[in-house]
Structure 1
Amino acid sequence: MGIEDLRAHVADELARTRRRSAVLTDSVDDEDLVRQHSPLMSPLVWDLAHVGSQEELWLVRDVGGAEAIRPDIDDLYDAFKHARKDRPELPLLGPEEAREYVGTVRDKVFDLLDRTPLEGRRLVDGAFAFGMIVQHEQQHDETMLATHQLRRGAPVLTDEAPPRAADADSLPAEVLVRGGTFVMGTSTEPWALDNERPAHEVHVDDFWIDTTPVTNGDYQRFMADGGYDRPELWSADGWAHRLHAKLRAPRFWEHDGQRWLRRRFGHVEPVPADEPVVHVSFHEAQAYANWIGKRLPTEQEWEKAARHDPRTGRSLRYPWGDGDPGPEHANLGQRHLRPAPRGAYPEGEAPCGARQLIGDVWEWTSTDFLPYPGFSAFPYREYSEVFFGPDYKVLRGGSFGTDPAACRGTFRNWDYPIRRQIFSGFRCARTPRPEELG
C-alpha cells in the first residue's frame, strides 16, 4: 500500500487496539485494576501503563526523537527488572494516572505518525515500529484477558456464541500431509517479528495430523481412563509436576459429583464436549497424545500443515490463503470468549484439510523455542533471543483472545511447559504406517 494508506492503516490499528485495552480495563473498578489475581500475572493497571511505557520508548523517543514524558517510571515498567509476583509492591501509577499517561503518549504518537517518513530506516520501513507497538499492546490485551479469567466475581465481559460447523460429524479425525520441502518463516511479512525470520527451507516426512484440536469430550475420555494416574503416559518432568501441582483436570474445571463444570470469565457452566480443550499444559497435552497412541506435532509439521499449498508449492500467509483474517476464517480478537466447536470455520480450512489452525486455542508443539537459521535479533535482544533454549516450548496458531494483528501463519508463541493460565490446547500428530501411504 502507498505511504498515506499505510499511515491510515496504522492509525486505525492503533485506535482499534486501544479500544480493546479500554474494554479490558474500564469493565472493572479501581480495586480490581490494582489487585493481583494470581502471582503469575501482573495487576491490570501494570499492563495498562506498561504498554504506554513501551510506546513512549520506541515511538516517542526512538522514532520521534522527542523528549521523554515520564523517564521516572522506566524502571517500574521494565518487564525484565521485576517479576510479576513482585509488581504489586512497586509504586505504580494509579488507574487514573495510568489512563492519563497512556493517553498523552498516544496523542504524541498520532502527531508523530503524521510526519514520520515510513521508509529509509529499518525501524520505520513499512511502519515496522508502529506495527510492533500494535502487536505488543494486543499481546498484553490477551494477557489481560487471561487475568480476567483468573479474577473472581460476577461476569464483566460480554460476547456472543461462536459459530458451529454444519459438517462437523462428517469430518475425518485426521488428515495426511505429504512430506517434502517447504518454506518456513518469512522474510517479507512487514510486521513479522524477529523470531519468525528469515524464510528458510525445511524438510518434513509424511505425517498425519488431527483435523481439529482435541476436544473436551476427547479429553474427558483420557481422564476417565485414569490418564492423570498413569505415570507411564507422562514424561519424568511431567509426572513430577503432575504430582507437585496435584493436577486432576484442565485448569478452571471442577466436578460437582455428577458432571464436569468450568469457570469461564465469571460463568460456571457444564463443560461443552465439542469445544477444543483449553487451559492445559504441555505436559498434559503430551500425556494425552501418549494415551491415544500419537504425539504432539513438531513446529515444522504444524507450519507445513497450516501454510503449505501442494498445488502451487507456495507457503501461504494463512491456511486459507494470503488475505487477512475475517470473521468467517477464524475465532480471533475476543469476539467469542471461548473456543468454537469442533470443525467451525470451514472457510479457514488449510489445503491439507485441517481446520481451526488459526484462532480458538494456542496449540502446543513438541519443539523447543529456538532461532531459525540466519536469525538476527531486531530491534532488541529481549524480545526473543533471551528466551531461546530448552526451557520453553513453542505454541502456534493463536487463540480466541489473540488479535489478528498479532497472529499469522508464521507467528511463534512460547511458554514454560507447566503453564495453564494461557489459552492453550493442542492437536495430535503421528507417523504413518507403511501400508497407509500406498
Structure 2
Amino acid sequence: MNAHPTPGDATTALASSRQRTLALTDCLDEDELLRQHSPLMSPLVWDLAHVGNQEEIWLVREAGRLPALRPDLDRLYDAFRHPRAARPALPLLPPDAARRYLRQVRERALEVLDAAVFDTEDGRSADGQDPLLARGFVFGMVAQHEQQHAETMLATHQLRSGPAVLDAPPPPPAGPDATALPREVLVPGGPFTMGTDTDPWALDNERPAHTVDLAPFWLDTVPVSNADYQEFIEDGGYADPRRWSPQGWAHRQRAGLEAPLFWQRDGRAWLRRRFGRTEPVPPSEPVLHVCWYEAEAYAHWAGRRLPTEAEWEKAARHDPATGRSRRHPWGDADPAPDHANLGQRHLQPAPVGSYPAGAAPSGARQLIGDVWEWTSSDFLPYPGFTAFPYPEYSEVFFGPDYKVLRGGSFGVDPVACRGTFRNWDHPIRRQIFSGFRTARDVTPGEAR
C-alpha cells in the first residue's frame, strides 16, 4: 500500500476481501456452512455475517453516518459476547440471508466510499477530517478485518472432514541456490526503528514507531523445515522433558502431543492431511501447525532459542546501508508473486530457500509469507500506544497469555501483512498456519 492510498485502492481492497470470503463459503452446501467443524472455530456462516456486521458498523454507521441496516445483529455477531464454542446455538442468519445482508451492506459502504475524501493534494489529511477517514484508514481496516477472517475460514477448511473442496497450484520450486544458503545470518547490533508512524493502514498495535537497541544475534536464514523437525521427533524430542519448559511439558502431556497437528505415521514415513487430502509430508517445506511450546522445545533441543519480536522485525526491516526500516524485507513496494507466498495462491508453504527476490538486507528469506513465525515475546503495547479506533482490537489482549507471531502465512492477504504487522495467539494453538525459525546470541570472538 502506497503512503497515500486512493479511493481506487480502497475499492480494490474491499472487492478482493469479498471475493475471498465468497470463494471460501460458496464452495460448501448449507449444512457444511452451519456446522461447527471444530470447537476452536465458528461455523463458517457466523464468519460470513460477522464480516458484514463489522462493515456496517464501521463503514456505514461510523464513517458514513448513515442509518443502521440491521442493529439487531450487533449483539449476535459480537465476537466478545459469544465464545466460538457457543456460536452454533445462536439464531444465526442462514447462508442465503447472510449473503443478502453482505450485498446490502456493501452497497451502502460503496456510497460512503464515493463521498470520502482521503487526502489533500499535497498528501496531508484534510483539516478537521475524521481520523477514521484520514488516508482511507477505515476502509483499509475493514478490508484487513475481512481478510483476517478469510484466513480463519481457511483454517476451518483445514479442520473440516470430508472431501476436498479447495484447490490451488503448488508453489514454484526453490531456486538452485536454496541448498547452498548458510544456515544462519548475522544481524548486527545497534538501534533500529520498530513499528510505524507512516504506514496509512497500519493498525493500532503497530504504532508508534520507536527506537529499539539490540545486541547482535544470529538468525536462521529460512524457517525450520519439516525435515529438520522430523530429526527432533526421531531423536525423542516429544519424550524428553529436558527439552521442554515446565508449562510446555505439562501441555504436551495433557494434549498428548507427538507430532505437528495433522501429521500421522505411515510405517517409517510421515503423512499429513491438507484441506481434505492425505499426502506425504514434504521434507523441504517449513514445518506447519506447531504450537509455541513445540517451537520452544525444538529450539532448546537445537541449542538455540526463539527470536524476540524485536529481533524478528530488525532482521526483516532494518537496512544497515541506509539506517532506515523498510516496509517489507525487500523494500517498500507492495508484495509481488516473486517476493512472497501470500493470498492463498498456493494453499501450502513454499520450499525453504524460495523467493530470493523477497530476501531481507540481513539475507534471511521467507520472513513474509509461507508460515506465521512464533517469537519468544508476549503481546504487549509499544511505548506510547493509543487504542484506535476501539480497545477490543488489540488492547484487551495485551499480557502474558498471548505470544506474538510475525510474518504472515500463505493464507494471509498482502493487505493484512507487512513488516510491522503483529499477530498473536495462545501458546497452545496449532490450528493456525504457524511455524518458526530459531536464533542464538553472538558468542565472544564471533564477528560483530
Q: Secondary structure at the match of 1:327?
A: coil
Contact 1:164 1:343 (8 Å CA) reproduced: no
Partners of 1:64 and 1:437 lie apart in 2 by 57
Please say if 1:225 is aligned against 2:239.
no
Q: 1:390-435, CA deviations, whole angstroms, 9 ceiling, x for partnerless residues?
A: 0000000000001000000000000000000000000000001212
Cα deviation, residue 4, structure 1: 11
In structure 2, what is the equivalent of residue 322 of structure 1? 332
Distance 1:5 1:388, change over 3 A: closer
SS at match of 1:132: helix
Could you tell me how far 1:183 is from its partner in structure 2?
A: 0.2
- The correspondence for 2:409, drawn from 365, 378, 399, is 399
SS at match of 1:381: coil
Q: Deviations over 1:208-261 (max 9, x none)?
A: 000000000000000000000010111111000000000000000001223100
1:246 counterpart = 2:256: yes
Partner of 1:419: 429
In structure 2, what is the equivalent of residue 203 of structure 1? 213
Q: Which residue matches 2:106?
A: 106
Aligned to 1:20: 20
The 1-side partners of 2:357 and 2:394 are apart by: 32
TM-superposed deviation, 1:12: 1.2
- For residue 303 of structure 1, give the secondary structure of its aligned residue in structure 2: helix
Opposite residue 13 of structure 1, the aligned amino acid is A
Matches of 1:163 and 1:428 in 2, distance apart?
Answer: 25
In the TM superposition, 1:126-165 aligns within 5 A as: 126-165=135-174
Q: Distance in 1 between matches of 2:148 and 2:240?
A: 36
What is the rounded CA distance, in whole Å, between the counterparts of 2:90 and 2:139 in structure 1?
29
Partner residue in 2 for 1:259? 269
Q: Distance between the aligned counterparts of 1:430 and 1:376, measured in 2?
A: 33
Letter in 2 for 1:96: D
- Matches of 1:114 and 1:261, distance apart in 2: 51
1:2 Cα offset (Å): 11
- CA distance change for structure 1 residues 324 and 244 in 2, over 3 Å: closer, same or farther? same
**Which residue matches 1:429?**
439
1:389 and 2:389 equivalent?
no
Letter of the 1:320 counterpart: W
Paired residue for 1:371? 381
Q: Could you tell me how far 1:111 is from its partner in structure 2?
A: 1.2
For structure 1, which runs of at least 5 residues remain unmatched after alignment? none
| 1:295-347 Cα distance to aligned partner (Å, 9 max, x none) | 00000000000000000101000000010001010000000110000100000
Counterpart in the other structure of 1:172: 182
**C-alpha distance in structure 1 between counterparts of 2:3 and 2:9, whole Å:** 10
**Identity fraction in percent:** 66
Report the aligned-residue RMSD: 1.3
Shift in alpha-carbon separation, 1:395–1:116, aligned structure 2, 3 A = same
- Cα shift at 1:116: 2.1
- Please give the alpha-carbon distance, in whole angstroms, between the structure 2 residues aligned to 1:191 and 1:436: 40
SS at match of 1:202: strand
**2 CA distance for matches of 1:197 and 1:258?**
48
Q: How does 1:24-35 map to 2 (within 5 A)?
A: 24-35=24-35
SS at match of 2:376: strand
Q: How far did residue 132 of structure 1 move?
A: 0.3
| Letter paired with 2:434 | S
What is the rounded CA distance, in whole Å, between the counterparts of 1:136 and 1:105 in structure 2? 15
Q: Equivalents in 2 of 1:102, 1:188: separation in Å?
A: 32
Select the residue among 358, 361, 364 that pairs with 1:351. Answer: 361
In the alignment, which of 255, 277, 285 is matched to residue 275 of structure 1? 285
What SS class does the counterpart of residue 295 from structure 1 fall into? coil
Distance 1:130 1:157 in 2: 28
1:164 Cα offset (Å) = 1.8
CA contact (8 A) 2:36 2:88 kept: yes
Does 1:234 pair with 2:250?
no
The aligned counterpart of 2:94 is 94
Tell me, which stretches of 5 or more residues in structure 2 are unaligned? 119-125
Counterpart of 1:249 in structure 2: which amino acid?
A: A
Residue equivalent to 1:181: 191
Cα distance in 2 for partners of 1:334, 1:4 equals 26
TM-score by length of 1: 0.99
Letter in 2 for 1:122: P
DSSP 3-state at the match of 2:238: helix
Q: CA deviation at 1:289?
A: 0.1
Instruction: Output the CA distance in 2 between the equivalents of 1:231 and 1:431.
Output: 24
